[in-house]
Amino acid sequence: MKGQLGFVSMSYHAHKAPAALLWKRALKRLLEWQELARQRRVLASMSDEALKDIGLSRADIQEEIERPFWIDHLRR
């Protein structure tokens, strides 16, 4: 039992990330969401002819801009 307790304790501490790293990740994610929102605004402002050139319809764009800001289907 003592060995198990030490293992759990050590593995717990090994996976704790420093606060600075967590803040960095959070800031990066916020910036990604901001960029995604900007790209969606640009798409929404494009003319029908420009959308046709890139193979998208106004309905495609409407569907994209109605998605929540945190959903990015290109991010894996």
33 in a structural domain: yes
List all residues 6 or more positions away from 58 whose beta carbon is below 8 Å from its beta carbon.
48, 51
8 in a structural domain: no
Number of domains comprising the chain: 1
Residue 12 confidence (pLDDT) above 70: no
69 in a structural domain: yes
Residue 42 belongs to what domain range? 18-76
Say how far apart CA 6 and CA 12 lie, in whole Å: 10
27 in a structural domain: yes
Does residue 46 come out as left (phi exceeding 0), alpha (psi in the -120 to 50 range) or beta? beta
Residue 48 confidence (pLDDT) above 60: yes
What pTM value is reported for the model?
A: 0.64
What confidence score (pLDDT) does residue 75 get? 66
Say how far apart CA 20 and CA 37 lie, in whole Å: 26
Could you tell me how far CA 45 lies from the centroid of its own chain?
Answer: 22
24 in a structural domain: yes
61 in a structural domain: yes
